[in-house]
Amino acid sequence: MKQLNFLHLVYLRALIEERSVTRAAEHMGIGQPAMSSALSKLRLIFSDPLLTSTRNGMEPTPRALELMRLSMQISALVEGRGVSQQAFVASESSVHWKVMASDAIARALLPSLMERIGTQAPKMRLTVQPGDPRKLQDSLRDGEFDLAVTFARNPASELRQVALYPQKLVGIARKDHPHIQGKVTLKQFLQQAHVRWGTPPASYTTLEAMVDEKLAQLGHSRQVNLMVSSMSILPEVVAKSNLIAVIPERVAYKASRELTVQVFPLPFKVPQVEVSLIWHERLHHDPAHKWFRKCILDISRQDVIPEQRSSST
């Protein structure tokens, strides 16, 4: 039998992600014949088709998905993630962290985080992108992400969690909205056209789901005239239209300082949103990961919105 090397597992991961030999070859910078040859070799070694052709492209078999998880774990070891070290020196670390965070959270967190990393760990690298909160446990366990900064309902027991900051959901409208000035009744809220987020790549959003679930309990639903892929788009759309939106208060008050946007309390109760730092048990004792978590925690404690600061003094 021909010998397997790690590069073949990297190729398999590209095939699974792209669901196409041609696209996988382009992604890896090799020719299509070489990628086809790698797939043939993998099929021979593992006695499994690994990917099968369907109307929607190539679909991975369970064995292929198992091998992909293995390759991601090996990548984590190669890149210095998940490896306990006797001494971690931030200034020398070239670890590459993969962080799951929405666009709005990334915009709030990254400027201060990268300022600190640039000073204390200039060789460290980050990839920050949205993920599906419904797959949080698998994504952190399998190494797709090393850390999540998000709101999660009832995370699995194998996940560690620390609250960064609690916040309420509030409504926003443009300051000269013809029907809203500072507060709304439930009837007014339902009569307005809404913009909400939840299209790909953020195909599922827990925050918006909480609002819709509460309204459904009351026997109502929103009139949604616009769907967008990122929460950060909402304030700018609201500022230029009669659409209203529901967003976390931290994002809302920042928008009110930068745009012609007013903030108003929701006319119904929804649970408070607690943005948390979440990671898998496998990385809990890793010194590099500990250092990275502390950076984020320190920044979140410094970043207090004015309304919270005035109420606590």
Query: Tens digits of per-residue pLDDT, 244-276?
Result: 999 988 889 889 999 999 999 999 999 887 889
Do 40 and 56 lie in one domain? The reply is: yes
Rounded Cα–Cα distance for residues 223 and 221 (Å): 7
Task: Point out the residues of the chain with pLDDT beneath 50.
Answer: 1, 84-85, 305-313
Query: Tens digits of per-residue pLDDT, 117-174?
Result: 999 999 999 999 988 877 888 888 878 899 999 888 777 778 899 988 877 899 999 9
Query: What is the predicted pLDDT for the residue at 230?
Result: 82
| Statement: the pTM of the whole predicted model exceeds 0.85 | no
Residue 218 sits in a domain of what CATH number? 3.40.190.10
Rounded Cα–Cα distance for residues 219 and 294 (Å): 44
Do 150 and 14 lie in one domain? The reply is: no
Query: What is the predicted pLDDT for the residue at 306?
Result: 44
Domain of residue 138 covers: 93-165+274-312
Do 252 and 291 lie in one domain? The reply is: no
Q: What is the DSSP letter of 244?
A: B
Q: Is 306 helix (H, G, I), strand (E, B) or coil?
A: helix
Query: What is the predicted pLDDT for the residue at 207?
Result: 81
Query: What is the predicted pLDDT for the residue at 53?
Result: 83
Do 244 and 220 lie in one domain? The reply is: yes
Do 179 and 254 lie in one domain? The reply is: yes
Q: Using an 8 Å Cβ cutoff, are 115 and 124 in contact? A: no
Report the candidate in 129, 159, 144, 170 with the shortest Cα–Cα distance to residue 278.
Answer: 159
* Number of independent structural domains in the chain: 3
Rounded Cα–Cα distance for residues 155 and 139 (Å): 12
Cis bond upstream, residue 122 (ω within 30): no
Do 141 and 286 lie in one domain? The reply is: yes
Query: What is the predicted pLDDT for the residue at 2?
Result: 57
Q: Which amino acid is at 290?
A: K
Residue 72 sits in a domain of what CATH number? 1.10.10.10
Boundary of a domain, candidates 78, 107, 124: 78
Query: What is the predicted pLDDT for the residue at 225?
Result: 96
Q: Is residue 84 part of a domain?
A: no
Query: What is the predicted pLDDT for the residue at 148?
Result: 95
Query: What is the predicted pLDDT for the residue at 169?
Result: 93
Do 184 and 248 lie in one domain? The reply is: yes
Report the candidate in 110, 128, 273, 130 with the shortest Cα–Cα distance to residue 197.
Answer: 130
Do 160 and 102 lie in one domain? The reply is: yes
